[in-house]
Amino acid sequence: MSLDVSQKRRAVTVTAAIAVALLLLVGRLYQIQILSSEEFSERAQRQYKTVIEELPPRGDIFCMDGTGKTLLATTVLRPALSANPRQIIDRESLACRLSEILHMDRDALLAMLRDDTLPDGRPRYYVLLARHLTDKQAEAVRALNAGGLTLKDEPKRVYPQGRMLGTVLGITGVDKNNLQNKGLEGLELYYDEILRGEPGYRELVVDALGNGLKLPGCREVPAKKGGNLLLTINSRMQRIVEEELRAAFHKWKPASATAIVMDPYTGDILAMANLPDFDPNDPCAYPESARRNRAVTDSYEPGSTFKPLIGCAVLEERLATLDTSFKCFGPVRGRTIGDHASGWLSMRDVIVRSSNRGAAWFGVLLDENGMKLRPWVRRFRFGEPTGVDMPGEVGGRVTAARDWTGYSTTSVPFGQEIAVTPLQLVRAFCAIPNGGLLVRPRIVKAIVDDDGNVIRETGNDERVRVMSEETARRMRTVLEGVVSDPRGTGHRSRLKEYRMAGKTGTAQKAVRGEYSHSTHVGYFVAFAPVEQPRICVLVVMNEPKGRYYGGTVAAPAASRIVLRSLKSMGVPERGAGS
């Protein structure tokens, strides 16, 4: 009897234990299937599903002129090599062979081929080994016939014209997702959001070894190419400018040089060059300073190129006429000013012969009649960026009103105590040939698709009248005299084919707070033809060696740019005496 009771107790205990176990199992299943179903579903998907991002082709950058379309930046497909570490058997041997082909460190490759898991616990089915393989390298990888390696075409940014416009175009680099599609400098940076397009992706189901399986339900979103930039640049003119600037650069060996050609009526930048420059196809081969667009990032004192602008202010305020005489000898309001022209000079001759004392009297006239000099400087928008569609633009320097002194009054009119960028200077100068309007510069004309349809016009309707047409007309006659008059500082650069007007400038650079007698900036700014201006040209030579006067180091190059550019545009020759 006792045996039966004992057996029954044991049976009850076992049954109860089984029941408890079953209840726990049911509870666990309920937790997994009902309460935590989403979590475990996500874990399972991470084990067998992976997402591969597709790079979008970056938009092109090009310009159009009489010769057709000139491609400046585009995207080509180059092989990228990736690996599935789980499918590789002999990693050490493969790392050695790839090291020879790719010219990469063997140990670094071996570490990349390691079969481990990602930070979120997923197996590593994909690792990028190298981008932009040459055709020879890609062929050598294929010849290995090694399992686990994949070659796939991927976009690479190239610049078909090499160094041409390099400092303006800029470069691209790798973004936060390790994708070679991020603008770093120049137009590539400024218009990055438009150029880079939209990445795509594809979902891939894999087995335990990472082999792809064709199963329904995997989503795929194609990458969308970025928009294309149509520039205002004239490619023929750009080549002319770069050739002439490079020749002057080699002759005078300045620290840097800049040249700009602008349409005076629209503000369209037709050419822009800086030296030193670089090839954006291989930016690492050049110093970082060679990538600067000095037309907008660097500012200098403008020297005598400022005199015509202040002369316009005097004419507009009706404080003098072109025939008014100025005392160009002795001190100006107690200040001794260096000069190479002396005597009583008319306002016209003050500018033609570039008298510093005469220009200082311009400032005295303006400030003794209501402190008008500084407001006129600001009226030409000096001291603020032009708003051009390029990154890194600075606003230059204009002395604050509270710090303005009598020294400012007699310094600024001949280009001291003020700093301007080359683009600011040529923009202000365009108001003289275009009839008194300040235009906003631009370098991108439109954003277009691959079929040439305009997605968006950049627009350039900002035109502010800064002087009357009559004042601008009078100053045009003065500036033509700078070139045509034998006494003019730009006379040696006159053209027999076209009537050209311009102004030379030479600025001393400040070194440790004092003006240097050995470090200068030479300028020449010009427009032509005088009777119907088509272009405005500026050449800046920063710290030339040997000679330094703008009429010597900058004017000849600017004159040749004017001549060759007008001929390339088909402008009829009329002769300087016509």
pLDDT of 232-242, one tens digit each?
A: 999 999 999 99
Looking at residues 456-460, what average pLDDT do you find?
81
Positive/negative CA dihedral, 281, 285, 288, 291: negative
Distances (CA, A) of 167 to 48, 174, 185: 47, 19, 9
Chain CA centroid to CA 454, Å: 22
What pLDDT does 371 receive?
94
Is residue 16 predicted with pLDDT exceeding 80? no
Question: Between 356-367 and 307-316, two packed helices, what is the crossing angle to 10 degrees?
Answer: 40
What pLDDT does 455 receive?
86
Q: What is the pTM of this model?
A: 0.85
DSSP letter for 329, please: S
pLDDT band at residue 373 using 50, 70 and 90 as cut-offs: very high
What pLDDT does 578 receive?
47
Is residue 210 predicted with pLDDT exceeding 60? no
Looking at residues 408-429, what average pLDDT do you find?
97
Of 39 and 13, the one with more pLDDT: 13
Q: How far apart, in whole angstroms, are the C-alpha atoms of residue 248 and residue 531?
A: 28
Q: How far apart, in whole angstroms, are the C-alpha atoms of residue 437 and residue 435?
A: 6
Looking at residues 266-281, what average pLDDT do you find?
97
- Spell 96-122 as b/e; 16+ CB within 10 A means b: ebbbebbeeeeeebbebbeeeeeeeee
Tens digits of residue pLDDT in 461-486: 789 999 999 999 999 999 999 999 99
Give the mean pLDDT of the chain. 89
Of 267 and 219, the one with more pLDDT: 267
Residue 561 is which amino acid? Answer: I
Q: How far apart, in whole angstroms, are the C-alpha atoms of residue 572 and residue 113?
A: 68
Tens digits of residue pLDDT in 117-157: 666 666 777 888 998 899 999 999 999 988 889 998 888 89
Q: How far apart, in whole angstroms, are the C-alpha atoms of residue 20 and residue 297?
A: 79
Which tokens hold the place of 209?
């070894």
CB-based burial label for 401 (10 Å; 0-12, 13-18, 19+): exposed
Looking at residues 427-455, what average pLDDT do you find?
94
Helix (H, G, I), strand (E, B) or coil at 396: coil
- DSSP code per residue over 63-86: EEETTEEEEEEEEEEEEEEEE-GG
- Spell 187-213 as b/e; 16+ CB within 10 A means b: bbbbbbebbbbebeeeebbbeeebeee
Give the percent of the chain with pLDDT over 90.
66
Q: How far apart, in whole angstroms, are the C-alpha atoms of residue 27 and residue 106?
A: 52
- Report phi then psi at 53, rounded to 5: -80, 140
Of 169 and 515, the one with more pLDDT: 169
What pLDDT does 117 receive?
66
Is residue 55 predicted with pLDDT exceeding 60? yes
The answer to whether 228 and 60 have CB atoms below 8 angstroms apart is yes
